[in-house]
A and B are shown apart, each in its own frame.
Chain A
């Protein structure tokens, strides 16, 4: 092989390698990223309530620096609840008010479910995220006489987060929107409580 041929072969294999590295890097970025919403949500210490991600500016108070969203909507307050279904099913409870509210469940691959306050029953929206096994268990334990208003969603992965968005249509509603984010509760439905209830009911 001539030197030029060898050089061309090396360049060609370098380009093929570049393509492989490019595809591999793009596929690996979501998993390795430490600045994505899932990693940030899991690093938060807030328990039982949604972590405010983007708080709306009210009066003289500007939007705080904790906001990491690249181009946030200045009239939509955003909160996050991270879940790890190994701890048990995740229950997100929101009370609907005059402001429009939406809940979206995100996994590692993207959002797989979203519901707005129009789905609320008597002013309450209860979303339960669970694994397939936990869902089957909940169905098996369900009491036929008791009507459940829970929206049950089977998550494809163990880890993820629930996004709460509240829209303040007018600047005067912004503090109410911030409060509505804080009022959303995110709790782990522990299986112990359910069994306790059952023993109580049985005995």
Chain B
């Protein structure tokens, strides 16, 4: 048998004097264990593999953001079904673990962005222009947050803009400048000195929530990088 031959060769390689690398010895030991394994130990191995891999993968899939259910529109991802009865089990598990209270369909819709228009991760050291219009909504807010744990002891000057307080152009369009340094106009300071950041656009009382698939990237503000420091 091919396998038995290989095992024999491995045994020979693992024999004292001829053994070279510790990696080879480990492989040989594993092969030896596989060859000698009893039914009970194989059963325990299968159970441990199933429980371990299953729990670790479930934890990985439900920690952090929603794994799927988003509608990508340009740089933004809309989450129209995150708070509904029709939400997928992963979304429900994520909500339960984080204690999140998602927006219901009649209430509003959440859109998030972690990348700019060119697909680069939003970086706290760079300056971004968030320009354009928003879908129809009674009110909306744009907020910026660092990803991961917040740095304690630091109160942000401003965390976001609402549709009422923003300065607009004559045609109703707006430009928010997300920058670590002071900017004229709608300046949104960076929440931290470095690292990845994320933007959240919340539309309140919007008809878009029921038909997120019809969203167009021209109907959402574009996120473009205008420069980086350091």
Contacts and interface: CB of A to CB of B under 8 A. Distances in A.
B102 interface: yes
Interface stretch (A2-10, A123-131, A137-145, A190-198): A2-10
A15 B53 contact: yes
B95 to A, nearest CB: 7
Contacts of A104: 83, 103-104, 106-107
A15 B106 contact: no
Contacts of A102: 106-108, 204-205
Contact of B204 (A15, A17, A35, A167): A167
Interface stretch (A44-52, A88-96, A114-122, A179-187): A114-122
Contacts of A26: 58, 61-62, 89-90, 93
Contacts of B205: 100, 102, 116, 118
Interface string B164-176: 1100000000000
B45 A14 contact: yes
A36 interface: yes
Contacts of A15: 49-50, 53
A187 B149 CA distance: 37
A21 B54 contact: yes
A22 B56 CA distance: 8
Given A21-B55, A109-B85, A75 B106 contact: no
Contacts of B42: 6-7, 9-10
B50 A169 contact: no
Contacts of A6: 37, 39, 42
Nearest to B58: A25
B62 A75 contact: no
Contacts of B89: 26-27, 30
Contact of B160 (A22, A73, A113): A73
A165 B45 CA distance: 51
Interface in A9-31: 9-11, 13-22, 24-27, 29-30
B50 A16 contact: yes
B163 interface: yes
A169 B162 contact: yes
B44 to A, nearest CB: 9
A114 B104 contact: yes
A4 B98 CA distance: 44
Contacts of B48: 14
A10 B45 contact: yes
A59 interface: no
B160 A25 contact: no
B101 A3 contact: no
Q: Which of B107, B141, B155 has the most CB of A within 10 A?
A: B107
A69 B96 contact: no
A49 B1 CA distance: 77
Contact of A110 (B1, B39, B51, B87): B87
A59 to B, nearest CB: 12
Contacts of B202: 73, 76
Contacts of A115: 106
Contacts of A73: 141, 143, 160, 200, 202
A158 to B, nearest CB: 16
B46 A68 contact: no
Which 10 pairs, one residue from A and one from B, show the smallest C-beta to C-beta distance?
A21-B54, A17-B50, A14-B49, A114-B106, A111-B104, A169-B164, A18-B53, A25-B58, A114-B104, A36-B96
9 contacts: A2-B1, A3-B3, A17-B47, A22-B58, A35-B98, A69-B100, A76-B141, A111-B83, A114-B106
Interface of B: 1, 3, 34-37, 39, 42-43, 45-55, 57-59, 61-62, 83-87, 89-90, 92-93, 95-108, 138-139, 141, 143, 145, 155, 159-160, 162-165, 200, 202, 204-205
